[in-house]
Structure 1
Amino acid sequence: MAVIAVYSVKGGVGKTSLAANLAWCSSAISCRRTLLWDLDAAGGAAYMLGVDPPSTGRAESVFTQDRKPEKLITSTPFANLDVLPADESIRGLDARLSRIGKRRRLAKLAESLGQNYERIVLDCPPVLNEISAQVMHAADVVIVPLPPSPLSHRAFEMVVKEVKEIGKNHPPILPVLSMLDMRRALHRDARAANPGWPAIPMASAMEQSAVRREPVGAFAASSPAAKAVAQLWTAIERKLAKTS
């Protein structure tokens, strides 16, 4: 089992869309039993896979041992892919985790879920707090989407610092240029400066993914966006293979 965290301290970078699409790639391309775990109170990751938000706020309860995560896991319309959805209760999770005082609570839960899943993809909230610290302890690789901008560069430096605070055994970081529009000079410069980074283009297919509530690979497999996400997933699997 491996945990893939899609994380940024900055919102609006395409994080949720990327997490949902990568989870689908894990299940459809690698044929792995996959869980998409939504840790963002907005609940967008589950929504993008056609799963409506839960009617009762129970997502936080899995961290307090009041409810087993398996009780809240929901199947999706896609084979090999389940989701553990978020809800409004997650908003208080940072304070709850601080009170519990168990720094590896998320890692332990992920380890337990690993009995049924080969890959767990975390859609992380854009925060720097106890939740993000727990994510770093649980993750086997951290995916950081970065739209080409000075603010994104600063946000990336913050993520690198946080990940390295884990110690020498910190998870590897894979930066990804997201929402890349090669018609813009700033974006072309960012691509030229980081030619080895995976890149996800700014594309209508990615926007339609949220509208249709389907992964882009499920309805536009030949599109540049779908191919880019699939290539990113291949890079993630290779990185996991090197660290295993």
Structure 2
Amino acid sequence: MTPTVFFAVLAAALLHASWNAVIKFGASKISGVLVMTVIQGSAGLIIALTRPFPGSEVWPWLLASGVLHAAYKLFLGFAYEQGDLSRVYPIARGAAPMMVLLVSATWGIDALTGAELLGILILGGGIALMARGVFTSGESRRLLPFALASAVATAGYSLIDGMGARIGGDPVAFVGWMFALDMLFFTPISIALRGPGIARVTARGWMIGGVAAAGSYGAYAIAVWAMTQAPIALVTALRETSILFAMVIGVLLFRERLNLGKIAAGALILIGVILTRI
């Protein structure tokens, strides 16, 4: 991995943690996610329409992906309403790869290596320690089911996107239609849950959502480019430094409490994720 790719991936990790921080910063987390989704979905639709139309065999994968992406964002928004960035992000980000590996091994998609098994054990310990901190720090316990549900959705769309893009043979079109369907599903669901007022976004709300959308899209674009320049396993492992970035941002920007337990849990989650991806 060249220095250019190395620092580009670090920038992508920072962008990913930063757009999560932007959503956390907004007064209404769901409104911020809604604006981000609308902007991404509109851009995705424009890009998708420039590509060949997907075949019928691809649409079940696209529909499932759109539903899961919408669920991921919804649960993530709910989690940020209940807890700290430095608590929610490591749980949601760290639990997903562990779930993907377990499902892959159970379904016979991939066999687990010794490093991956060790990584799963360390990941589980780190997530358990991070979750335990909720009960000892006085934070809302409601953040846990939301953060874990977000991780379940992330694991689901990670598996579906990979297989669906392979079947379709055009990852650019697949991602574009996925973002468009995500917008189609997320918008009415968020309005149904929070009322029509959720769609009446202020200029500040559009700015926050727009910044989050740019950060999310930029992080994804950099990661995809980096995977064409360096081994995918190294890129995906390095991206997980976003967990550390999120914890630092939470402490510096939101003045969140950082105790020894949270530091240890974050370190275990990061080590575990890296072990599962190298």
Same fold judged by TM-score > 0.5? no
- Which TM-score applies when normalising by structure 1? 0.31
* More helix per residue: 2
Question: Which of structures 1 and 2 has the larger relative contact order (alpha carbons within 8 angstroms, sep 6+)?
Answer: 2
* More strand per residue: 1
- Which TM-score applies when normalising by structure 2? 0.28
